[in-house]
Amino acid sequence: MAIEVLMPRQGQTVESCVILEWKKKEGETVQKGETLCEVETDKAVFSVEAPTDGILLKVLYPAGSDVPVLTPIAYVGGAGEQIPGIPGISTLSATSAEQKPFVQTQPSPAEPSPAEQNTTSEVSTTAGRKAVRISPRAMKLARQYGIQPETLIGTGPRGRIIERDVRKIIEEKQKSLQSIAEEAARLSVPEEPSLPEHPLIQQPAGKEGGIQGQREMSIPPEGSISVPVIGTRKVIAQRMRESLQTHAQYTLHALADARALLQWRKRFKESPASYGYREITINDLVLFVVAQTLRRFPELNAYWLQNTIQRYTTVQLGVAVDTPKGLLVPVIRNAETLSLAALSREAKRLAQACIEGRISSEDLSGGTFTVTNLGSLGVQYFTPILNSPQVAILGVGTIQPQPVMEGEEVKFYPHMGLSLTVDHQAVDGAPASRFLKALLENVSNIDLLFAGT
């Protein structure tokens, strides 16, 4: 009997993965542990390995497919073995020149793991108690949009309702509302007059013509390309939209005196290599200051959970990292307890793992405050978007000379732009301003922080 290859689960919050590339083709010989394909979660890229020696008998999903976890994606076995659930169709040998047609049916879902069973939620209906298998993320989204889970059809393992099932219903409702709005607008707004025919003006084909017809043309211009929104980019888009929908965000901007940071950076670069300080960057210094400052302001080191504000006494510091596949935010654990050198090493380790696609799901979860830095790109101020459910995020800008009054003279000193975005549902303007003020003082007096750690 052929052995099924399941889409692996990568963390409890991952509901599906995108198949990036098949490394093996149907009919090829594989060895146990050899990479069959690469898949991408909302966080990183992983390899799916062959469960046994044999032949890759059948690929159930092509590259680019978004497949729920714990779903069969391929079968491995010996030549001529029967694929389970496909009666009357024999598998192919490794040397077969022809391939018989394969009709893909819905694969039998695997038995749910204990962890999956624990994440299943139950809801009540007016007709009595009815158990509904639904993931926590899907339940949260359904409640947010007022959708009854028992009205949904699950496409996850064993009929479990997952996030994309809820999103499908939301999109259908939005399209329906949009169609009604467009029809109402069409009936209430008179048609615009057509443009007169002219040799230099190309009239669109059909009876619509004119300006209205040109607006309805959907032919893309030459030289354009279509980029599918999948994997990491799709998750980034969803989370940014959800962040703006669920948080009342406002941003405070300020300038921090950066002379002390630059002086320490210079000292580190000139220090002996054996000290291990040469690789410390300006961003490392900022992360250190943020972690130490947050110890005094737990209201900024918190989650917004609708009916609860969860404040933390330890700083799980998220650091935004730009990668070829999009923005990732690994977490430096207990950042307030780390020395500057230890924090710098951990930040670099996590960033490198993100860029190389080796980052684990655990390293990308549990952050309580986030720092994102665009200073190296010349940006002085910007408006960072909250990393939900966190209530605050700090944007770090470039260092530029700024005028400062000293007596009756104006002098120019290097200053760094800082942009603090906060959820007004959890933190008012005054406490957020006090945190930002303390941060400015600690940046300009970082020597005192070194003495206290």
Return the half-sphere exposure (C-beta side, CA atoms, 13 A cut-off) of residue 302: 20
User: What's the chain's Rg over C-alpha atoms?
Assistant: 28
31: three-class secondary structure by DSSP: coil
Return the half-sphere exposure (C-beta side, CA atoms, 13 A cut-off) of residue 307: 0
Known active-site residue 257: no
Most distant pair of Cα atoms in the chain: their distance = 93
Known active-site residue 198: no
18: which strand partners? 40, 66
Burial (Cβ within 10 Å: 0-12, 13-18, ≥19) of residue 102: middle
Burial 393-414 (b: 16+ CB within 10 A, else e): bbbbbbbeebeeeeeeeeeeee
- DSSP of 242-299, one letter per residue? HHHHH--EEEEEEEEE-HHHHHHHHHHHHS-GGGS-TT--HHHHHHHHHHHHHTT-TT
Structure tokens at 424: 């007004």
Query: What span, in angstroms and rounded, lies between the C-alpha atoms of 209 and 223?
Result: 25
Catalytic residue among 42, 165, 198, 428: 428
How many of the other CB atoms lie within 10 Å of CB of 284?
22
Return the half-sphere exposure (C-beta side, CA atoms, 13 A cut-off) of residue 393: 25
- Percentages helix, strand, coil for the chain (3-state, rounded to 5) are 30, 25, 45
Structure tokens at 121: 């939620």
Query: What span, in angstroms and rounded, lies between the C-alpha atoms of 42 and 14?
Result: 7
Residue 324 region by backbone torsions, left for phi larger than 0, else alpha for psi between -120 and 50, else beta: alpha
Residue 123 region by backbone torsions, left for phi larger than 0, else alpha for psi between -120 and 50, else beta: beta
Contact (Cβ atoms closer than 8 angstroms) between residue 417 and residue 452: no
Measured N-to-C along each axis, helices 282-294 and 340-355 cross at an angle, to the nearest 10 degrees, of 110
Query: What span, in angstroms and rounded, lies between the C-alpha atoms of 160 and 453?
Result: 50
Catalytic residue among 42, 253, 415, 424: 424
DSSP alpha helices (H): ranges in 189-230?
210-216
β-strands 302-304, 331-332 pairing: unpaired
As annotated, the active-site residues are 424, 428
